[in-house]
Amino acid sequence: MRKKVIAGNWKMNKVLSEATQFVEDTKNNVPSSEQVESVVCAPYPFLHALVEKAQGTDLKVAAQNMHFEENGAFTGEVSPVMLKDLGVTYVVLGHSERRELFAETDETVNKKVHAAFNHDLTPIVCVGETLEQRENNETMSHVEDQVKKALEGLSDDQVKATIIAYEPIWAIGTGKTATSEQANEVCTHIRNVVKETVSTDAGEAVRIQYGGSVKPANVDELLAQSDIDGALVGGASLEADSFLKLAEAGAK
């Protein structure tokens, strides 16, 4: 049985006082981490304060991106060493907004996934198709390609520890959720791709989240699907009450 992972991706939202208040309101109210992993993916400037605040609780803190190098002349970048040193435990990699707006490529995503494992960070690797690709029947081949490239060169155990987030771009922030059948169909395909290209065990173990307009009202149905092991949530993760409802759904 794969443990579910509910991750709230705040994107570029909140100021420090709001971020710390959120953690104050949720850290002792999320379900036990034996039932579900509850994660907040916060902007870099808040990470230190949030990790300290959440210390010893079942709420975990993630970064939304990182560079793959450990240090050096990379102005404006943040390294895996820095994240690890702060006590961050997860990192979102290859989000479609980074791919579309900040020139993230499959190659850099793969380098970042390796860097995450080299520094004991759990990667949440995002994949997903555009509306145009879906309409052209390219969803499966596109997502398959992204998954294969992201996981290239990883060991079996590393793949087992990876979290893949399937986020159809047309469903992000639009209020248009993929139906649970549509979402599961792609998640099943991703699992089969991992089984075929890595190993059956890795395919069984890898956790696959769905993301795209997930909210308390639709999360149960999505999580009831055979191959959906959690959710990566934007808008509905910004309020503590809503995030707690999502985390509770993951613990059912």
Q: Which is nearer to ligand 13P, 106 or 201 (CB)?
A: 106
**72 Cβ contact list (under 8 Å, min separation 6):** none
User: Cβ of residue 234: shortest distance to ligand 13P, in angstroms?
Assistant: 2
Give the Cα separation of 142 and 196 in Å (integer). 16
CA distance 230 to 28: 20
Q: In whole angstroms, what is the distance from residue 73 CA to residue 77 CA?
A: 9
Question: Nearest-CB residue to ligand 13P?
Answer: 234
Smallest separation (angstroms) from ligand 13P to the CB of 3: 20
Nearer to ligand 13P, 9 or 198 (CB): 9
By beta-carbon proximity to ligand 13P, the closer residue of 151 and 171 is 171
Which residues of this protein are in contact with ligand 13P, per CB under 6 A?
Answer: 9, 95, 167, 172-173, 211-214, 232-236
The residue type of 52 is: E
Q: Which is nearer to ligand 13P, 176 or 252 (CB)?
A: 176
Residues whose CB falls within 8 Å of the CB of residue 12, separated by 6 or more in sequence, listed in order: 43
**Beta carbon of residue 104, minimum distance to ligand 13P (angstroms, whole number):** 13
Say which amino acid occupies 135. Answer: E
* 142 catalytically annotated: no
Which one of the listed residues 95, 119, 144, 248 is annotated catalytic?
A: 95
Facing residues of 210 across strands? 166, 231
37, 97, 104, 167: the active-site residue: 167
Q: Is 95 among the residues known to form the active site?
A: yes
Minimum gap (Å) between residue 142 Cβ and ligand 13P? 17
Helices 240-251, 216-223: crossing angle, 10 deg rounding: 20
Which are the catalytic amino acids? 95, 167
